[in-house]
Amino acid sequence: MHVKSAEFVKSATRPEHYPPAEVPEIAFAGRSNVGKSSLINVLVNRKGLVRTSSTPGRTQLINFFQVNNDLMLVDLPGYGFARVPAEVRKQWGPMVETYLSTRSCLGCVVLILDIRRVPSDEDVLMLQWLRAYAIPAVVVVTKCDKLSKNERARQAATISRTLGLSREEMVFFSALSREGKDLLWGRIEHFLAAGDGEPLSGGGDLGH
């Protein structure tokens, strides 16, 4: 993908405030602080387009970023962070679920995991939920720079087992080294070209 321009369009919590559904959208989901915003910045080659923070729960709105004239990247608020105010936590589910289940121009969801963690129940549920709605998903394992080669292989095996996905189905990524950037764009473009995606194979630990 040749990114010629990338700009913030708007923030929204409810469908009335989403931008018009005119171009395909790629949404980025994952637990709080996993590195969603950093990953989007790497994809568009812009250090500060999306605000990042070492404080979890930074992104609490749905943020829309237009890339070139024909694509929207959508930064979703992260889940699983206990210390955000109860009121915000209560709104998270409906806000994100409404977006994912109703957005007609949604092309695929990039689900982001931390290489250092065993996927949480919420991660597994999110993947199952995407499958249930037949939303194409790309699983990205990020912060790969933080582990040694051996630790990385071990964690990759754990994550792969927990989600029921092969390693080849996942994209290993680092916002620091930019590893995985081209592969991820390739997967995204594949879904955009297909119009609808091939479902991921795995069932995950909570699978039915």
Ligand X SMILES: Nc1nc2c(ncn2[C@@H]2O[C@H](COP(=O)(O)OP(=O)(O)OP(=O)(O)O)[C@@H](O)[C@H]2O)c(=O)[nH]1
Q: Which residues bind ligand X (CB under 6 A)?
A: 30, 32-38, 52-54, 56-59, 78, 142-143, 145-146, 174-176
Binders of Mg ion in range 11-50 (CB under 5 A): 36-37
Q: Which of 186, 164, 166, 18 is nearest to 108 (CA)?
A: 186
Residue 28 vs 198, nearer CB to ligand X = 28
Q: Which does 104 bind (CB under 5 to 8 A by kind): ligand X, Mg ion, none?
A: none
Residue 34 vs 96, nearer CB to ligand X = 34
Structure tokens at 169: 């189905």
Report how far residue 132's alpha carbon sits from residue 62's, in angstroms, rounded to the nearest whole number. 22
Residue 54 vs 150, nearer CB to ligand X = 54
Question: Side chain identity at 24, as an amino acid letter?
Answer: P
CA dist 35 → 53, 103, 115, 129, 140 (Å): 9, 23, 11, 21, 10
In the complex, the smallest distance separating the C-beta of residue 69 from ligand X, rounded to whole angstroms, is 25
* Strand, coil or helix: 177: coil
Q: Which does 145 bind (CB under 5 to 8 A by kind): ligand X, Mg ion, none?
A: ligand X
In the complex, the smallest distance separating the C-beta of residue 43 from ligand X, rounded to whole angstroms, is 12
Taking CB under 5 A as the criterion, the residue among 59, 60, 66, 142 binding Mg ion is: 59
Structure tokens at 36: 């969603």
Question: Side chain identity at 141, as an amino acid letter?
Answer: V
Q: Phi and psi at residue 71, in whole multiples of 5°? A: -155, 145
Q: Which x/- pattern over 83-112 shows residues binding Mg ion (rule: CB under 5 A)?
A: ------------------------------
Residue 36 vs 187, nearer CB to Mg ion = 36
Structure tokens at 47: 């250090």
